[in-house]
Every structure is written in C-alpha cells, then in structure tokens.
Structure 1
C-alpha cells in the first residue's frame, strides 16, 4: 500500500509492548513523546495497563487512548518548552474526566468533550479508567474553525448540544473502523471534523474556510479539466461536500463552476495553439485534449473569448 504523509503518522502501542520500562513509565514516555509532554501517576504502578492508537488526519493527529485509573498533569515548564501552540479536544467515550485548567474546575461526564490548551498547565484525573478519543490540533488550523478557542478551554462541551452527536459518531467510527480503508481522503475527513467542532462550539463557519475550499475546487478543475465528463458532482464528491455547497462557495467569490471550467479549457487550448511543438497537431485534437468534444462548439467559444478563431490565433503567432 502506498503510504501518504498522514498515513506515515499512524501508530499503535500498548503497555504489553513495553520491554525496558515499567508499564506506567512506558505510557508516560509514549504520550510525552507522541502527544504532549506530561506527568502520569497511578496507584496501580506495575499492573497499570494502557493502549494508544494514532491516525494522521491532514494537519491534525487523532489519538485514541484506553487506560486504567490515572492522573495526568502538564506543568508551566512543560508548556513553555513547546514551540508551536496546540490544542487538545478530548471526548470522554467511557469514564469521567476531572479537569483543572485555566481557572476552570469541572467534571466531564461520558459523552462530553473538553478543550485543552497545551500552552497552559492542566491536570486531568481519570478515576474510573477511561476510553478517551482526542484530537491534537495546531492552533492555526483550529482557528480556521473556532476563531477564539481560548474562551472554551477547560469547560464541558457538547452537553445538551444536538451537534455533539455527529462529532461523537465520527470519532467513534474513526476509532472502531480505523482509517486504513476510509472511502474519503483524509484531508476531507479533517475538514468534516473541523466543521463539526465549529458546530459544537456554536460558532459561524469562518470565511477563510470558504476561501480554502474554493482554492481546492479550482485546483481540482485545473487538474482534471481535460476530462469531458467532469461535473460539479464529481468534484463535490471528491471534496466530501454537496454540489449545492460547491456552487454556494464559488458564488461567494462571484465565480461559477461552468465559468471556471470554460476559462481553464480555453486558456489551455490557447497555450497549446501557441506552442511550436504543437504546430502539427490538428485543432480538433487540441480541442479534444482540453475537454471539448465538439470542434465547432469549441471554435465558437474560443472566438467569443479571444475575438479570433483558433486557426487565426495560431496563424497570427507564426507571423514574423
């Protein structure tokens, strides 16, 4: 299987893999190296058991942790050693979490979320053990979806919020089914995750997201414009959005799918007609190569755009 950059971050580990360290120390070493530096305490010591699975999901890491009763803490000194700011979104799938963070002291029940800032100290206690699904998110990425995440840290999220159910379901599906055979590209799944975070946080979708999505739509057109059967539904399905949303995003920037596709095909045709090495290629073949199946239709559109026919355009470029 070809490994893309996100899949290269995938990893599984459990305390049964520990060889040179006691289970608790091994768990502390793994989470500190792979998630964020922290201290871990447990009365179970050598009988402590834990497992960890990570999936790379575009710019974020999903960490699925299952562990015995323990207490985790992150000091001011640990936070200062991190050069890039990250946030952690924890979903308590099973077991409550007692949180002390940013002047907030709260208990996160099963089924709820809590947001942590790795730039600030915190203490988490899992008195009953835990199955915890977390997302390790760069601050700049999270702010695309939640413009002011610091106002949410340390507080229970998702309680009584209908939008929390889809986010719970998405994380649970990731944890249970894995991402090795996911039908959508991981960057699409990352966008879906980010959008659900915005819903749970009750914030409006930032304009920046629309801009980035429009860029992806244009990039897809630029790559696949030669395909005469390319449709908005094809691109929308690839990006994991509805066709209606695709048109709405482009309309935000006074653009349309048909206009972008036509402009791309005509510009590419003009480039080919102006290329000396393509001089022996017929105009009909050039039209076909950029996605037009009807040469006469291509000629009419080309003349409308460039105020000259394809053959006249090619001839004019050969004149001294």
Structure 2
C-alpha cells in the first residue's frame, strides 16, 4: 500500500519462491513497490500476491496476504516524506485500522482513508485482500475541502460500493481502457470521494462513519473468535468486561443485534471461502463448521436467505466464472 512504481502493470507472488524465502521476498516486493512498512507475518511460509495497475494518474496496488500486522512508525513516516493519502478498499477478510488515535474496523466492502505521511497500524485477523489507491493530497484538496479530518474513518456504504466497482475495473485486462478513459475514471473516483464526505447522513456528527471505542473493542473481539461456536452475547460480554445489557445497547444504537451481526459476518466468511479456489477441496459443511455453525441444514437455510441460492449452487457459480 502506498508508493507504486511507474510500470503500468506488474504481478508478484511468493508462490514462485521456496517457503523459506517467501517472507524476505514479500518484504522486498512491498518495500520496492509500495513503500517502507513494518510487516509481522502469520507464518514464515505465507503465500502472498501483489498486483499493480493504474487508473489514469492514480497508482493502485492489490494485495492478498496473511499477516498479523502492518504498520508505519514515526521514523518511517518522516523518512517517506509522503504528501499522499491511501484510499484503502477492503476486498476480503477483516482488519482494524488505527491512525491519529482513531480505530476503525474494516469488513469486506469498506473504504477508508489513510495519511501516508503519518504513523498508522493495521491489524489483520485472517487472510486479507485489499486494494490501495495512491492519491496525492493536492488531488484530495481539489476534490473536497476538510479531507484532513477523514483519516482513519469509513466512507458511507453506498459510496464504498461504487468505489469498489470503479477501482475493481482497473484489475481486468491490462488494456481494458485507454489513457483518456483512465483520466475520466480518475475524475469519477475523486468525485465519489467528495460526494461520500459530503453525504449528510455520514457527516451529521463526524465527517465519516466512526464507531465508539466500546463498539470497536467488541467487534474486534468477535472477529478474532468468529469460528468459535460458543461465541454468544454472554461469552462476549464476559470477555470484554461489560454487562450483556451494555453489549446489546452498543449494537442497538445502530439498529443491529449482536447475534445478527455475528451471523452475517459468519455467512460472509463462508461465502468468501466458497469463492476461493484454494478451498475447493473443503466441503461446504467443513467450511460452515469452521466458522461457528453447527447444523448444516440450518446453515443452508440461512445462506439461501442471505444470498438467494443454496451454498452448493453459489459455490459452483463462483468457481466457474
């Protein structure tokens, strides 16, 4: 995430190296093409992929990796002398961003803004895929004023959906659009950012969606224990150190319930693995049980209600496209 080279396209995978070399090769690839960061690995032989593309003048990096933590120290931030922002699009997996004492949970579909010239930290709770768009702060200023207050927050869901669709188009065929079309997409990209910031629903109390520290703490705990079938309001409240009443109040302020939020996250994790060819050999029941479900028939009903088709049909369609 961050500085990307001048090449229009590039693809890098640690699969091309022996397991013992993967950590060093990945670190070198990230430093060379994205900038200087501290990387804490989940395992020494982790597989990771990096793909670089451009949308007009904007450099984009798509990363898929199994790390525990990515962060930029004060020294690294000063050394980078960066005058840019990172627009981070969460594709899969879950993470938590901390910058300027602001914590934000990132779920698939979310979009956030990071100040590249300041320290930040991203904790990853499972394998993550993200796209980072490198945007000069001058361009942010031209698009909308007051963007400095948006660092570390999330854009509204409707804006995030459109940004995912637009930026995702850059990772189709390398020659899928011309430079002129790319410039048009840059204009649309910046306009969507400005529109999201100015959305009255998102700016009533803060420029972007922000969650209380208590909500962040609860959701971080839930995402780290999502595969535990014993995860429920009572065990969560006990682990976090709040009453069950307080726990339910945290979610009710956003019109949610604890159990519903857990169920939705579990279903999304299952759907992610159904779409991933790496999990082709695992049965639907194995994947469902790994994410905390304990009744295959009940899981199938919930999945069909959420996605409109049975798990088997969803998986078959996803893997044949």
**Which range, TM-score by smaller chain?**
0.5 to 0.7
Aligned residues of 2:39 and 2:67 also touching (Cα < 8 A): no
Question: Residue 173 of structure 1 is aligned with which of 144, 169, 172?
Answer: 169
CA distance in 2, matches of 1:196, 1:134: 16
For residues 223-277 of structure 1, the C-alpha deviation after alignment (integer angstroms, 9 at most, x for no partner) is: xxxxxxxxxxxxxxxxxxxxxxxxxxxxxxxxxxxxxxxxxxxxxxxxxxxxxxx
Aligned residues of 1:96 and 1:127 also touching (Cα < 8 A): yes
Higher Cα Rg: structure 1 or 2? 1
Look up the match of 1:94.
92
Deviation at 1:33, TM superposition (A): 2.0
CA distance in 1, matches of 2:102, 2:19: 38
RMSD over aligned Cα atoms: 2.4
Q: How does 1:40-189 map to 2 (within 5 A)?
A: 40-45=39-44, 47-159=45-157, 162-175=158-171, 177-182=172-177, 185-189=181-185
Deviation at 1:165, TM superposition (A): 1.9
**In structure 2, the residue corresponding to 1:185 is in which secondary structure?**
helix
TM-score (norm 1): 0.56
Deviation at 1:134, TM superposition (A): 1.4
Structure 1 residue runs of 5 or longer lacking an equivalent are: 1-5, 205-320
Structure 2 residue runs of 5 or longer lacking an equivalent are: 201-321
Deviation at 1:30, TM superposition (A): 1.6
Look up the match of 2:38.
39
CA distance in 1, matches of 2:31, 2:144: 26
Classify 1:200/1:148 alpha carbon distance in 2 versus 1 (closer, same or farther; 3 Å): same
CA distance in 1, matches of 2:20, 2:182: 34
Aligned residues of 2:94 and 2:125 also touching (Cα < 8 A): yes
Q: Does residue 185 of structure 2 align to residue 192 of structure 1? A: no
Deviation at 1:44, TM superposition (A): 0.8
Aligned residues of 2:56 and 2:181 also touching (Cα < 8 A): no
Classify 1:178/1:76 alpha carbon distance in 2 versus 1 (closer, same or farther; 3 Å): farther
For residues 13-68 of structure 1, the C-alpha deviation after alignment (integer angstroms, 9 at most, x for no partner) is: 111244798212222222222112101111311x2111111112233211111112
Classify 1:96/1:104 alpha carbon distance in 2 versus 1 (closer, same or farther; 3 Å): same
Look up the match of 1:26.
25
For residues 90-139 of structure 1, the C-alpha deviation after alignment (integer angstroms, 9 at most, x for no partner) is: 11111111111111012111111111001110111121111111101111
Q: How many residues align?
A: 195
Aligned residues of 1:7 and 1:56 also touching (Cα < 8 A): no
CA distance in 1, matches of 2:32, 2:198: 33
CA distance in 2, matches of 1:200, 1:178: 28
For residues 149-206 of structure 1, the C-alpha deviation after alignment (integer angstroms, 9 at most, x for no partner) is: 22011112224xx23221121122323x2442225532222112111221222279xx
Q: After alignment, is 69-78 or 28-37 more displaced? A: 28-37
Classify 1:18/1:192 alpha carbon distance in 2 versus 1 (closer, same or farther; 3 Å): farther
